Amino acid sequence: MEDLSTFWLGTILLGLILGSAFFSSTETSMMAINRYRLKTLSSQNNTQAKRTEKLLSNLDHLIGTILLGNNFVNIFASSIATVLAIKLWGEGSIVYASIALTFVILIFAETTPKTFAAKNPEKIALPVSIIIELLIKIFKPFVWIIAQISKNILRLLGVKNENQTSNISSEELRMVVNDAKPIIASNYQKMLLNIIDLEKVKVEDIMVPRHELISVDINNKSEILSQLERIQHTRLLTFDDSPDNITGVLHMRDVVNLYAKGEFSIENISELIRKPYFVPEGTSLAHQLEHFQTKKRRLGLVVDEYGEVRGMVVLEDILEEIVGQFTSNQNEAIDEVTKQKDGSYLIDPRISIRELNIMLKINLPVAKAKTLNGLILETLQSIPKRDISLKIDNVSIEIMQISDQTIKLVKLTKLNSDPF
């Protein structure tokens, strides 16, 4: 090497620095490239994308080859720089040459190429994939030996060599949807986020409570007619003698058609009753939506661990969790929460806490109680009196009306968070 001229030594050194820059930028671009974009290009039969995806499927060989190449050129560059310095300025210049080479490599072979590759990973990773694939084949025996030694050292240190799954979590998926604001309309974005949350929400969170359901004795013809005249709901629970003995669900549209034909009788009504479909209260909305689809159902009776009916969930309720409130139900929401001039809210305490949190952007606890009424009773541990106020999570709740030992109206005021 000492027989080479200064020109050739300088040329070799420059080539090694460029080689170091190549390996540095390749490593960064391979790690920074968007995997979803890469999959899209692969599905479009992009040869470079398919090759890059294949390389990334075996990270041990990819990183091992890049590091082997990078270390080789850096060490070789250091040797060339030492020889060149001795030729030009003597042995006393070795230290200065090492310092100068460190700065050159840091700027031109590390920082600059890595920064460019991080900002433009696709422009680097795809074209160089063919070169890296060739180098992997050349260095494969050396990389394999190094990988085995590394694995054994990690095993001695107690580190398990397990391949992590590349499955995306719900929180990561939420971040992807949030980051897609420029290309997804806001209403579609909300729907996607609501779909992601379906697994977290249970049927008991959105069900119509048992005390709000109207039921009728199937053996009492006059009661059925009476309910038919005044009921505002389209579905009616039926029971046999005892309200706890639910026999099914009766759709009032079917009863009206039967009455219009003059065929109204207990026997004919019994034939219209649809057998009850029971749903455990802890079922997630995602699973229940799937169950409704597979079982061709639109309605289910929610039961607790003891088999007692706690409420009813319908397909429309789950769809509202995805697309938002339908027009027919907006008036009910307005009646439940009324904003006052002073910024406070008059609220029907039967409203669900989850719905109230979303509507007012607050964070009342939903671990146990499902309605605002239940949360107040849970906090006070007694039947409250009028004009009692309580504070829950930066929210002031004042009881305005009580009737028959039941809270009828409350006033909710958001409190300012402590600035300190």
Tokens of 120: 């433009």
How deeply is 64 buried, as exposed, middle or buried, from its count of CB atoms within 10 A (0-12, 13-18, 19+)? buried
Does residue 252 contact residue 228 with C-beta atoms inside 8 Å?
yes
What is the residue extent of each domain of the chain? 6-156, 203-316, 327-414
User: What is the greatest pairwise CA distance in the chain?
Assistant: 117
Beta-sheet pairing, 406-414 with 345-347: antiparallel
Which CATH architecture is the domain 327-414 placed in? 2-Layer Sandwich (3.30)
Q: Which residue reads 């020889």 in tokens?
A: 83
Per-residue pLDDT of the chain in tens (420 residues, 90 and over written 9): 555 678 888 888 899 999 999 999 999 999 999 888 898 899 899 999 999 999 998 888 888 899 999 999 999 988 888 888 888 877 777 888 888 888 998 999 899 999 999 999 999 999 999 999 999 989 888 888 887 888 888 888 877 665 555 567 777 778 878 777 777 888 888 888 888 888 888 888 888 888 778 888 877 767 767 766 666 667 778 888 777 788 888 887 787 787 777 777 777 777 888 888 899 988 999 999 999 999 888 889 999 888 888 888 988 888 888 887 664 444 444 467 888 888 888 988 888 888 888 888 888 887 778 888 888 888 888 877 777 888 888 888 888 888 777 788 888 988 875 443
Q: How many CB atoms lie within 10 A of CB 285?
A: 23
3-class DSSP state for residue 91? helix
**Neighbour order of strands in the sheet with 246-251:** 215-217, 235-239, 246-251
Tokens of 291: 């169950």
Does residue 104 contact residue 13 with C-beta atoms inside 8 Å?
no
Which CATH architecture is the domain 203-316 placed in? Roll (3.10)
